[in-house]
Chain A
Amino acid sequence: MLIIILLISISLTIAIFFLVAFVWSMKSGQFDDTYGPSVRMLFEDKKKTKSPKP
């Protein structure tokens, strides 16, 4: 039955790791703007078409 205790401690460690990761991502502002980045990647730096200078 020792294996159960081992498994539980592993599963708890992983869960707590992910919880900590979530709290960190939350606090570091990764969820602050959930819309901006999705459109920002669509913008491209257009080359000047009118006056193509080298």
Chain B
Amino acid sequence: MEDKHFCCQGCKTVFEILNENDLCEYYSFDKNPGVSLRYVSDESFAYLDEAAIRKKIAEFDSDSFSRVRFYVPAIHCISCIWLLENLQRLQKGILKSEVNFSGKSVRIDFNPKEIAFSKVARLLTSLGYAPKINLKTEELPNSVGFNKSLVIKLAIAGVGFGHIMLLSFPEYLGLDGTDEYLQRIFSYINIALAIPVTFYSGREYFENAWKSFAQRQINIDVPIAVGLFALFFRSVYDILWNVGPGYLDSLAGLVFFLLIGRWFQSKTYENLAFDRDYKSYFPLAVQKLVDSEWKPILVYELSPEDMIRIRNNEIVPADSLLESEAAYLDYSFVTGESKPVRTVKGDWVYAGGRLIGQPIELVVKKRTSQSHLTSLWNEAAFQKPEEGKYKRIIDKAARAFTWVVLLIAVVTGVTWYFYDASRMWLVLTSVLMVACPCALALAAPFTYGNMVRIFGRHGFYLKNADVIERMASIDSIVFDKTGTITHGANTVKFVGLIDDYELAWVKILTAASTHPLSSLITKSIMSHSIVEIENFKERLGSRVEGYIKGAYIKVGSAEYTGGKDPVIDASRVFVSINGEPRGYFQIETSVRPQVGEVVSKLGKRVVALLSGDSNGESNRMKHIFQEYTKLLFNQSPHDKLGFVSSLQQSNSKVMMIGDGLNDSGALQQSDVGIAVTDNAGVFNPACDGILAGKQLGLLDKFLTLSKTSIVIVKIGFGISFFYNLIALSFAIGGFLTPLTAAILMPISSMSVVGFSTVAVMWVAKQTFKEAK
């Protein structure tokens, strides 16, 4: 390749294509052309050729000419524009392509007779510009990157404001009586200018106020709408009845600055936005068939026609068709009905169903969205009662505050009426403007939202922002053992008599289970066999059984399989075939390296260790945990739940840390339930957070950070109140014009948002710096 070096096969392919077509100029535009591989996926896009879908996404579609606009998030530099606009040279059939850089989209005209829809999408993907296609919303993400209507409103308000000021000059400078007719003409022109400014540019405030009245509530736009309304009609009255010149200059200026404030605010929010990006979602993985091998891939990389395999207790990630003979699915996450539904080959299986029984294979039919699964996670059934305490307080406070503001405004207005009636309207308006408690409502969502994002970046994925609030109040921590404290195995060996065939059967059985010990056994057995299991059953946390080739195999605890339990310091899993005990797997699990340190850091908060296994490893656990930690073995899922709720009855706020399999009841019962996992897979909506196994050592840091978040929110409240109090007292005294009030208001909101964001980032940086 002309002694050139490439980082990956993808870049080499791109270079080959470019070189072939003499488009190497691509490499002279930027120092580092090419794109990050983040967005590259291997979707087939075959669904784009469906007539119905084509109709949906194409801007224009006929037999010989189609126009489509793809949203391509990977567009990032001048080389991208150049490459994407030369598509017609790379591919016959493409007529023209045009990039919208700000909107990160590309519009392609092509001849569908020569190149299929799906092929266009594949071409883009092969170049590293995978289009993002969302069939649900149909609309592309905001293609301009800013709010057009706000800009237009701003322009109209600006023009109106400027001219009203200009025409008010005679008033400012004082004209003598002979020119009174001029003044009246100017005033009438002012009214004409003020109408679009008030009722077009300021429309949103009236609409919001009206909506809140319709819902018999009151929101923070009400005082503003009242202020605008009062100023406008008072001015019109003054002018028409020749009482005075009115306050139209103030009114127009007010609208103008309110809109500027909005513009700045939206810019600030955009930059500090805490929208969960894909990084703060848990990277849910699923087994996909790639070249006759099962490989874990991320759920949002699934595409239609992919073959996936779901194991017992795993959740179906996307709407699919069943490929295996039959399956039982539990749709309780979706419908609340916990009775499993029997599904046979060729039937639909819906996202969110949980498999009960032996593994099944599915053909994905619809693309899935991670946000759908997250919304499942936030289903009402899994909500905890005290969720959103602060939110409720803020809502209440904001509402009460609005009434207080209106009351203060009325009292101030009446007082000024007797004191200096000519200034009453201006003072009234300033009071209404400045007292708006909008900053109050922003402190908590921005602080928690940013915290959730930072946690996500460190491998701790929270269900929602409210969890942080609850984490801050935790005083007791309960650990699960297998899969949480221990992980992986140093040695797995079979003690007893078993041949390779039978071992392979055992492997099939354990592979169907998601229990951590099962996966260890599966990994350790080398022999292979392709047989179907019949009558597969798994009781969570203790045993699996099934018929393989007529042999009835049970894997599980000693009592269950009828084996004898020798006393040694390791976990044991027993096997029986046709009721005859064959021996046991002796598994010496390895303790996660960070556990010792984090347990000692958490100190007295670590209340108990619950294990579903026998007490074979109790000696090792005693080394890790202090004597005040209770070590309980042979705990059924029910016992674990009972233990957590008894702790809660003694007024403890409990955090349960488990593997999310045999302790989901306890996770749900606890105040904060956290599932620790290593390579994703099992998705348990009962938990509040998912922690990547290798980050367990940071647990104490996460707890400290959530406490700090509460402090930050409180400081934010303080700042907001401080602003309102100071500004309000100035406004009541008549020292604040409505104009200044309109400028101050967004500044206060922005400073609260800025403070909480910067504080969260600084605190997080300090905390995690130590960790490294």
B22 near A48: Cβ-Cβ < 8 Å: yes
Chain A residues with CB below 8 A from B185, complex form: 5
Asked if residues A26 and B151 are in contact (CB atoms below 8 Å), the reply is: yes
Q: Which residue of A lies closest to B159 (CB)?
A: A19
Given A43-B82, A43-B85, are A32 and B143 also a contact pair (CB < 8 Å)?
A: yes
Do residues B143 and A1 form an inter-chain contact, with CB atoms below 8 A?
Answer: no
Provide the residues of chain B in CB contact with A46, threshold 8 Å.
22, 25
Which one of B54-62, B95-103, B224-232, B241-249 is at the interface?
Answer: B95-103
Contact A27–B148 (Cβ < 8 Å)? yes
Check if B148 sits within 8 Å of A26, measured CB to CB: yes
B155 touches A33 (CB 8 A): no
A36 — nearest CB in chain B belongs to which residue? B101
B31 to chain A, nearest CB (A): 15
* B750 in the interface (beta carbon within 8 A): no
Encode B90-127 as 1/0 by CB contact (under 8 A) with A: 00000000011111000000000000000000000000
CA–CA, A33 to B75, complex, Å? 13
Q: CA–CA, A29 to B391, complex, Å?
A: 40
Does B761 sit within 8 A of A, measured CB to CB? no
Distance to closest chain B CB from A17 (angstroms): 11
Interface contact A4-B182, CB-CB below 8 Å: yes
Q: Looking across the interface, which residue of chain B has its beta carbon closest to that of A5?
A: B185
Which residues from chain B contact A34 at a C-beta distance below 8 Å? Answer: 102
Q: Which residues of chain A come closer than 8 Å to B143, judged between CB atoms?
A: 32
B167 within 8 Å of A (CB atoms): yes
Of B22, B102, B182, the contact of A50 (CB 8 Å cutoff): B22
Interface pair B81/A36, CB less than 8 Å apart: yes
- Give chain A's interface secondary structure class: helix
Contact A35 to B101, CB < 8 A, known contacts A15-B159, A48-B22: yes
Residue of B whose beta carbon sits closest to that of A47: B22
Instruction: Assess whether A32 is in contact with B100, with CB atoms less than 8 Å apart.
Output: yes
Bound form: Cα–Cα A46–B185 in Å: 63
**Residue from B102, B155, B182 within 8 A of A23 (CB atoms):** B155
**Given A15-B163, A36-B101, A36-B102: A31 and B179 within 8 A (CB)?**
no
Contact at B101–A33, with CB atoms within 8 Å? yes
CB nearest neighbor in B for A43:
B82
CA distance A31 to B144 in the complex (A): 8
Instruction: For A36, give its contact among B25, B100, B148, B159 (CB under 8 Å).
Output: B100
Q: Is B189 in contact with chain A by the CB < 8 A criterion?
A: yes
Please measure, in the bound complex, the distance between the C-alpha atom of A26 and the C-alpha atom of B147, giving whole angstroms. 11
A16 to B99, CA, bound (A): 33
Which of chain A's residues have a CB closer than 8 A to the CB of B22?
46, 48-50
Mask: chain B, 369-388; 1 = CB below 8 Å from A; 0 = not:
00000000000000000000
Flag whether B568 is at the interface (Cβ < 8 A). no
For A31, list chain B residues within 8 Å (CB): 144, 148, 151
Answer whether A36 and B99 are a contact pair too, CB < 8 Å, given A15-B159, A19-B156: yes
Q: Give, as a whole number of angstroms, the nearest-CB distance from A27 to chain B.
A: 7
**Which residues of the other chain, A, contact B189 by a CB distance below 8 angstroms?**
8, 12
Interface residue B78 (Cβ < 8 Å from any Cβ of A): yes
Q: In whole Å, how far is B98's beta carbon from the nearest beta carbon of chain A?
A: 8
For A50, list chain B residues within 8 Å (CB): 22
* Chain A residues closer than 8 Å to B155, beta-carbon distance: 19, 22-23, 26
Instruction: Provide the bound-state CA to CA distance between A15 and B163, in Å.
Output: 9
B257 to chain A, nearest CB (A): 19
Interface pairs (12), CB distance under 8 Å: A4-B182, A12-B163, A19-B156, A19-B159, A23-B155, A26-B155, A33-B102, A35-B102, A36-B102, A43-B82, A43-B85, A48-B22
Given A22-B152, A33-B99, A46-B22, 8 more pairs with CB closer than 8 A: A12-B163, A15-B162, A22-B155, A31-B151, A39-B78, A39-B81, A40-B81, A49-B22
Closest 3 CB pairs of A and B: A36-B101, A35-B101, A33-B100
